[in-house]
A and B are shown apart, each in its own frame.
Chain A
Amino acid sequence: MRIDTTLAGFSNGLLLAAILLYALAMLCYACDFAFARHRLMAGLTDAEQAGRRSDSALAEAAVPSLVAAGAGGGVPAVPAGPAVPASSAASVHPPAAAAPRRHASRWPAGFWLRLAFGLTCVGVTAHVAAIVTRGLAEHRTPWGNMYEFIAAFTCVAVLVLVAASIWQRAYYLGLFVLVPVVFGLGIDLTVLYTPAGSLVPALQSYWIAIHVTAMLVAIGLFIFGAVTTTLYLTAERSQRRVAAGRPSWSAGILQHLPGAAVLDRLSYRSILFAFPVWTFGVMAGAIWADHAWGRYWGWDPKETWSFITWVVYAMFLHARATAGWRGRRAAYIQLIGFGCLLFNVIGVNLWITGLHSYAGMS
């Protein structure tokens, strides 16, 4: 079928528009940090921000302060472990702190934040439209080469951001997620740009819609996880320094973010979504490889690095369940996993040849 070059040009324009809108949104998110005086998160402990959340990580955070609270209720004081300095504040009782949070609006508060979020939403709409029009122009699934693939998974990352903003009220993440997205899209549109075209026979299969879609959805989620984990590490470090009475350069911006435990939990959750999707994607890839090449696993470089990525993220999940490893060390493992993922997406495409050399970069 013929490629519709007009429509393809339109798609390029939409992608450029998306980048510009994201860049503007970033600016507004930054203005929100700089100018907005509302909802500073400083002074709240993680336990309070987490409300009555009760998964294992937060139960740990919550229980000692509850013990301290109980101490106020007439029970002889038990030193509640090395409790956070703010644990006196915790005697307000988490449910009390949680109450306003539960009634808090889903929607962003304040001019700059509203504007930023609005721009993000318009931007992601343009982004989705760019991908859809590209697919229509090419009469195929629009993720068949590296250019299209990057455009698609950055789109997923922004969609995850929007979802997390609404459902987790994680509006504070906007700036941090959009930075790598804008950077990635910028490189994509300039260096990696590939004109619209058809696919080589090996890619002409409905499996592209299954395997590649799963991979890029997982990557979008992994990006989100890596960003939140980086923030977690920053916040955790800053909290330690402040607790030790040392200066923390990041304390200023961290005022606008929730505490380390909330970030950690958010990151963990995104991996919990991403990991099964990635597992499914690798399996679907194996089935496809079996259809196309006659073997389901051949240690092709792309396959090898997907495997490495998978193993490292499995390590992360294990680390989260191993005492002494959760927290900082687990976060580092997650970042290593993300490094492997990036290498697979970029390094393997550009530097290593294998059966998967479809990046369209020759």
Chain B
Amino acid sequence: MTSTESAATEATRATTATATDPAETGAAAELLEAEPSVAADQSRAAGLGPIGWLRWGWRQLTSMRTALILLFLLALASVPGSVLPQQGIDPAAVSQYYQSHPALAPFLSRLSLFNVFSAPWFAAIYLLLFASLAGCVLPRTVRLVGSARQQPPRAPTNLARLPASASYVTEVAPARALEQAASFFRGRRFRISQGDGWVSAEKGYLREVGNLLFHIALLALLFSVGLGGIFGYKANRLLIVGQGFADTPTALDVFRPGRLVTPGDLAPFSINLHGFTAKYVTSGPQLDQPLSYDASLTYQATPSAPVRSYQLQVNHPLVVDGVSVYLIGHGYAPIFKVTDGTGKVRWDGPVPFIPVDQTTLTSEGVIKVPDAEPGQLGFAGVFLPSAVDEGGRLESAFPEALNPRVSLVGFTGNLGMNSDQAQSVYQLDTTGLHQLPMQPRPLSAGQSMKLPDGLGTVTYLGYQQWISLAITYDPGQLPALASGIAALAGLILSFMVRRRRMFVRAVAAADGSTQVNIGGLARSDAAGGFENEFDSLTESLRSELAATEVTIADRQQPASVGTAEGSGGSSPRASTAEGSGGSFPRASTAGRSGESSKASTDGE
């Protein structure tokens, strides 16, 4: 059967369900969890004014189709976030984009396309989606709780019409056979309802529980993420071997507090870096590839706490006082001594250089000496950890410092450091500077370079290593993990559990024996297997009743007897499975009957 037909059938069924006489629909209606169709709402909206419109809007928002559309928009809206550079992830790439696309970039920026995941339109989509989710899930939860004591519906009259069916003949009397069937299913934790000549059994309410758990857990996940954004903080700090810092906003290079975080909330730990080793592959096709990074730290949780040591590695963060400290980068900090024209030492210490080539760790950096006299001095340098001569040019051949060299270009003039504008310590603003006429010469440790015009000397003394640390505190983390696990559990539950109904009817046959008819139906049998379960259930029940199975041909007859007896001349249409509760409602989705009736127009 094609989807067209199934859609059409569904539409037919939807109308059947509403058109049948009230007596028959009674059970079905409460199961259908009927919601008025959208069409009905529309007319009401027109008639009822603002309240009607609100109701109409709410129904639209919480409809399955809206959920579909919003999910689609969410996926679509994420795409630019992966294609365009993002401010929060790689600000340098954003500035680069500005340079290479000067006309386009400001326009994209106005659309928040460099900040997709914190853009108002992105927030609008997911907030709408989660509003829709809440509006969809909360009523279902209430209904599920309400149905905790609900009985399965009356058995349909003609069980042979159900997707799975079987028939037996037994010597046990009908009433007794039904009693046995009821206790058989009760023993298997089915819910039972019984009536004159029939037993209905239902199991698998956990499916709906799983589905709701999944969706509610998604809401919880969103709240957990929000929690982290409000009460957590993130920071970065570059640390040279031999140095230390305390966790205060001023000591951090980058500090991004959550909305409600004050400096006083920072955990009062301090860290000292004593050594760092990086190991690399030294031969073969993977030459240059890092093997391990290892930083030796000591830390104190509070200023008065004992000093502890820790080996910080990638994938092995340090956790102090709920705050995690991660090793996220490393590099070299060449040590310089700058003596100015007056003979005073104006700089003596390591300067962190930033790797520009991750495989060879060729690094660049600047030295700014604003106090130098007679003129301010600035240097732009390149550090080569393992310098080799490549046809007259020095290049780094390996990331480890096997043959470190520094070459410097000197500047003098105005460094521009007393203007209000914040300056990067890693960049030289050359607008007020002019380059010193010097022959660039790669320095090895201990070598100096004399600056022209009596401006002084610069000496390269050696190098130190630095690491960069990410420091995060995220109180939403554990709740997020818990929600994630709950979502997964709900998902698996809803996929594994099948909601199914079993019906038994017993009739006395002419020869004094009892004819037992069994029918079964699964509403959701996602993982399959209802057929087997039905077979094994009917087989066990058969042996319990000491019955013999009858063939299909035999079955046709008593089944129609059942029809005559059961619903006494009711219309044939009413005896379809639908009318008598033999078919499950399509949970709340069918309840969204707006879609059901739409199906007839949709299914082209």
Interface, chain A (partner B; CB < 8 A): 3, 45-47, 51-64, 66-67, 70, 73-76, 78, 81-84, 93, 95-96, 195, 197-198, 200-202, 204-205, 207, 236, 239-240, 243, 260-261, 265, 268-269, 272, 275-276, 279-280, 283, 286-287, 290-301, 304-305, 307-308, 311-312, 314-315, 318-319, 321-328, 340, 348, 352, 354
Main SS of chain A's interface residues? helix
5 A-B Cβ contacts within 8 A? Answer: A45-B1, A70-B158, A286-B484, A308-B78, A352-B83
Contact call B314/A81, Cβ cutoff below 8 A? no
Residues of A within 8 A of B527 (CB): 269, 272
Minimum CB–CB distance for A335 against chain B, Å: 14
Residues 573 to 604 of chain B near chain A (Cβ within 8 Å)? 573, 575-577, 583-584, 586-587, 589-590, 592, 595-596, 598-599, 602-603
Residues 547 to 592 of chain B near chain A (Cβ within 8 Å)? 552, 556, 559-560, 563, 572-573, 575-577, 583-584, 586-587, 589-590, 592
Contact call B531/A52, Cβ cutoff below 8 A? yes
Contact call A201/B284, Cβ cutoff below 8 A? no
Given contacts A52-B531, A54-B164, contact A95 B595 (CB under 8 A): no
Ordered nearest first, which 5 A-B pairs have the shortest CB separation?
A327-B3, A54-B163, A324-B602, A294-B326, A55-B525
B344 in contact (CB, < 8 A):
no
Contact call B488/A280, Cβ cutoff below 8 A? yes
Contact call A236/B2, Cβ cutoff below 8 A? yes
Residues of A within 8 A of B55 (CB): none
Most A CB atoms within 10 A — which of B12, B286, B317, B324? Answer: B286
B346 in contact (CB, < 8 A):
no
Contact call B530/A54, Cβ cutoff below 8 A? yes
Given contacts A299-B117, A315-B71, A348-B82, contact A276 B492 (CB under 8 A): yes
| Option from B71, B324, B522 in Cβ contact (under 8 Å) with A55 | B522
Minimum CB–CB distance for B188 against chain A, Å: 18
| Option from A61, A81, A300, A323 in Cβ contact (under 8 Å) with B586 | A323
Contact call B285/A322, Cβ cutoff below 8 A? no
Residues of A within 8 A of B573 (CB): 78
Contact call A327/B521, Cβ cutoff below 8 A? no
| Option from B67, B72, B474, B552 in Cβ contact (under 8 Å) with A95 | B552
Minimum CB–CB distance for B226 against chain A, Å: 13
Residues of A within 8 A of B284 (CB): 3, 195, 197
Residues of A within 8 A of B11 (CB): 323
Contact call B317/A291, Cβ cutoff below 8 A? yes
Bound complex: CA A45 to CA B79 (Å): 42
Minimum CB–CB distance for B192 against chain A, Å: 21
Minimum CB–CB distance for A66 against chain B, Å: 5
| Option from A56, A95, A340, A354 in Cβ contact (under 8 Å) with B523 | A56
Contact call B590/A51, Cβ cutoff below 8 A? no
Q: A283-B485, A287-B481, A291-B316 are in contact. List 17 more A-B contacts (CB 8 A).
A: A60-B10, A66-B161, A82-B4, A95-B552, A204-B315, A260-B3, A276-B492, A279-B488, A291-B315, A292-B314, A307-B75, A315-B71, A318-B64, A326-B6, A327-B7, A352-B82, A354-B89
Proximity bits, B150-162, A CB within 8 Å = 1, else 0: 0000000010111
Which chain A residue lies CB-closest to B292? A201
B180 in contact (CB, < 8 A):
no
Contact call A323/B7, Cβ cutoff below 8 A? yes
Residues of A within 8 A of B528 (CB): 53, 55, 265, 269
Bound complex: CA A298 to CA B117 (Å): 10
Contact call A307/B530, Cβ cutoff below 8 A? no
Residues of A within 8 A of B572 (CB): 75-76, 78
Contact call A294/B328, Cβ cutoff below 8 A? yes
Bound complex: CA A56 to CA B572 (Å): 23
Bound complex: CA A205 to CA B3 (Å): 47
Residues of B within 8 A of A73 (CB): 556, 559-560
Contact call A55/B530, Cβ cutoff below 8 A? yes
Bound complex: CA A13 to CA B263 (Å): 60
Given contacts A205-B315, A293-B328, A321-B589, contact A272 B2 (CB under 8 A): no
B470 in contact (CB, < 8 A):
yes
Bound complex: CA A165 to CA B105 (Å): 53
Bound complex: CA A326 to CA B64 (Å): 12
Minimum CB–CB distance for B112 against chain A, Å: 13
Most A CB atoms within 10 A — which of B7, B158, B163, B586? Answer: B163
Residues 127 to 162 of chain B near chain A (Cβ within 8 Å)? 158, 160-162
Minimum CB–CB distance for B171 against chain A, Å: 25
